[in-house]
Chain A
């Protein structure tokens, strides 16, 4: 008996050693790109074979080594230093892109959250003739590649004189909110119907039920929807690049950073600046994400995987 249990514990120890090494390897694989991003954003110059820059001591600088420096972040906002004239020239205006994206994200996320939740509530709780056909229609519409309609959207916006500014992007994001009803509807479906009925007996109308009964119970899905709609404009490359193609004052962060490193010569010059831009873009979203992570997990597991 004793021997058996010691065998067992030895088995568990070897298992745990295996599992921990696996987890460490997995963690390293998933963290390497970020580590690299942060390190490159802090180098004085790009050198392909240097991963971690050296400390900025006199010796290292004199030896021509790649050292730690915050120069890329300054370049990002103030422009690249011209070696001959000694002045900074602003080629890429990161501030404008950043502000654009922030405005788009802030406005569209608020409106979208309201519309998405409204649509989901209607599909989940209200019963009307067009309910099933509309849900089916939206399902079918989702099967068309959204990209092609973008060309036509571009021309429609051109007809009403709205192409190439950030409000056209807000317009389009908001117009697509009905397509995102699925997850929030799944969440509303799990809230017991008896609550509605009780409120109805007390004389509440449907509007009151929505705002006073369902909403207070749906904090996870409200935050989830907000988080998704707020982060989407930061990562959307296709739509933004298409609509703002010519006019760099309407670029979002995604479009702008992409142009920084499209050509090989640009890559050599701007790669560390691009990394700095990546870090600056990621930080607010990361903070928001970790702050609201609990709701994100609840939203994605509560709504996404219902049959």
Chain B
């Protein structure tokens, strides 16, 4: 094994720069089967571990049932009974309260919702006639089933069932443990419980509200979003007056099919263009900010440059102004009529005859708007990177540069061999979060160009699906702003928007995994520190 790596190393060293990059890439791909093999080898071990943990749960339950006294056995039905009768009134009462709440929820709402989940409701609304006080008859709707609430309550019910099972097992385990401990005369009373709130179970105290909020306002909505991707929840099926229904993979098919459902190739073409622009945008937006910010930080850091604080403050002042104000202002300045300031000034100077459509010129796949957006984005983002880099650059040990200088290294070489590797190493996670943030960068695109200019369709040869024309997707739209348009537009299509949302997740997860598997800052944390 060692010999093999040595041989590899020699082979690697004998290559030139380009060859080395190629070697690395080919090695990455040829390494995949090996890695996969290792992963597969680990599977049985992991399964065994999980199985043992699962086995433990059942053994505890059997033990509790077989050896438990009536208090423990009653806990199987009446949650918390074993604890209340063994000096732990507070915990027992809380368990019992949850059970009562759960039963109430299931009887009043949850059971009904779960029973209608497979069909998502059968009757939405009925119009009936009532007579008002003047004796005139008016039509009034009466609403019955609402697909959206059915779905939401069903998901809530599943969450509550999960919590119930977890708590149910916990209180049985605690009950049997307390019972066994009481044989030797050891009690943990309410007093201990209260003390634990601030000490032993302090994690639960701290995390209760944040994780609760996360569950209600992030996890449940995301689950709901994934589920909605499999329904036809759109403009034509809007609750409460209409029901929507399960459609399986229809929405996903709509994105990827080139022929199906009368969509023609237009949808796929637009989707690929938006996807490509999303990735290109994220790449340029991240790295242009990063390198420009680093260069400006390095220039300000040069020894002998005066007024360092002033230069930094000038840049930082842009962070202090709310981003939406500067973006809206810049968007106004780059307006495409002769009425907008930049065009007006250029025309006054005689540099251009007619106003330039800075943010809506559609030549060359909207090249000009894209460039303008990326440039404006550097204006927004460079101060942050400058701020971060300034501190980090000063952390690089000076003697590294000193010895490089003695060896006769040029400044460019020192930058490539010392500064850049160090910065990339330390800021790796920051770069990743910037990249992900840019994939989902709603503000810059929406406030600058609102996604314009519109795509051009060849209506003679392709059928343009309604999802494209009504949502008004444009050439500078990212996936996230397209989703916004799909959902806030008059003809919304939540099903399709959810599919796009899931695709954004896949994209982000892909880049994150790529980073975590190949990044030095994750794999060798100790180096450099």
- Residue among B214, B302, B305, B512 making CB contact with A143, cutoff 8 Å: B512
Interface residues of B in 305-341 (CB under 8 A from A): 305, 311, 313-326, 328-330, 332-333, 335, 337-341
Cα of A34 to Cα of B149 in the assembled complex, Å: 48
Question: Which of A56-64, A214-222, A256-264 is the interface stretch?
Answer: A256-264
Cβ contact within 8 Å between A301 and B501: no
Are A289 and B319 in contact (CB-based, < 8 A)? yes
CB-defined contacts of B149 to chain A, threshold 8 Å: 159
**Does B377 interact with chain A (Cβ within 8 Å)?**
no
A282 with B332, Cβ < 8 A, contacts A152-B224, A307-B525 known:
no
A286–B322 alpha-carbon span in the complex (Å)? 9
Name the one of B213, B305, B529 contacting A174, with C-beta atoms under 8 angstroms. Answer: B213
The verdict on A36 contacting B379 (CB below 8 Å), with A238-B442, A293-B316 known, is: no
> Is B296 a contact partner of A26 (Cβ separation < 8 A)?
yes
Chain B positions within 8 Å of A172 at CB level: 217
A237 to B205, CA, bound (A): 33
A281 and B325 within 8 A (CB): yes
Chain A residues, Cβ within 8 Å of B209: 115
Interface size on A, as a range, is 35 or more
Asked if B480 contacts A145 (CB within 8 A), the reply is: yes
Q: In chain B, what residue has the closest Cβ to A12?
A: B304
Least CB distance, A199 to chain B, in whole angstroms: 12
Chain A positions within 8 Å of B341 at CB level:
36, 48-49, 51
Contact, CB under 8 Å: B213 / A175: yes
User: How far is B220's CA from A151's CA once the two chains are assembled, in angstroms?
Assistant: 12
Evaluate whether A148 and B498 lie within 8 angstroms (CB atoms) in the complex, with A118-B210, A121-B206, A205-B198 already known: yes
- One of A15-23, A67-75, A76-84, A89-97 contacting the partner: A15-23
Q: Does B509 contact A (CB under 8 A)?
A: yes
Cβ contact within 8 Å between A149 and B218? yes
Give the shortest distance, in Å, between B260 (CB) and chain A (any CB).
24
Q: Are A151 and B487 in contact (CB under 8 A)?
A: yes
* B501 to A, closest residue via Cβ: A148
Give the contacts of A130-153 with B (CB-CB under 8 A). Answer: 131, 134, 138, 140-153
A145 touches B505 (CB 8 A): yes
Q: Is A156 an interface residue (CB 8 A)?
A: yes
Q: Distance (Å) between the CB of A105 and the closest chain B CB?
A: 11
Complex interface: chain A residues within 8 A of B436 (CB): 142-143
When chains A and B are docked, how far (Å) is the Cα of A278 from the Cα of B211?
36
Query: Does B97 interact with chain A (Cβ within 8 Å)?
Result: no
Q: Is B508 in contact with chain A by the CB < 8 A criterion?
A: yes
A223 interface residue, CB < 8 Å from B? no
CB 8 Å contact bits of B403-442 with A (1 = contact, 0 = none)? 0000000000000000000000111111000001000101
Contact A149:B222 (CB < 8 A) given known A19-B302, A293-B316:
yes
Find chain B residues with CB under 8 A from A267 CB: 332, 335, 339
Across the interface, do B214 and A290 meet the contact criterion of CB distance under 8 Å? Answer: no
Cβ-defined contact, B512 with A261, below 8 A? no
Q: Are A144 and B199 in contact (CB under 8 A)?
A: no
Asked if B42 CB lies within 8 Å of chain A CBs, one says: no
Q: Which residue of A lies closest to B391 (CB)?
A: A301
Chain B proximity of A223: nearest CB distance (Å): 15
Complex Cα spacing A88 to B374, Å:
41
The reply to whether the CB of A195 lies closer than 8 angstroms to some CB of chain B is no
What are 13 contact pairs spanning A and B, CB under 8 A?
Answer: A118-B206, A118-B207, A145-B480, A148-B483, A150-B221, A152-B221, A206-B199, A207-B199, A235-B443, A257-B325, A274-B328, A278-B321, A293-B316
List the 10 closest A-B pairs by CB distance, nearest first.
Answer: A175-B213, A149-B221, A48-B344, A178-B210, A289-B320, A207-B198, A175-B217, A205-B199, A152-B221, A301-B391
New contact pairs (13) apart from A49-B341, A49-B345, A235-B322, CB-CB < 8 Å: A23-B299, A30-B315, A34-B317, A49-B348, A131-B203, A152-B228, A176-B213, A205-B198, A235-B323, A264-B339, A289-B320, A305-B388, A305-B426
Which A residues are closer than 8 A to B by beta carbons?
12, 16, 19-20, 22-23, 26-27, 29-31, 33-34, 36-37, 48-49, 51, 115, 118-119, 121-122, 126, 128, 131, 134, 138, 140-153, 155-156, 159, 171-172, 174-179, 205-208, 210, 231, 234-235, 237-238, 242, 253-254, 257-258, 261, 264, 267-268, 271, 274-275, 278, 281-282, 285-286, 289-290, 293, 297, 300-301, 304-307
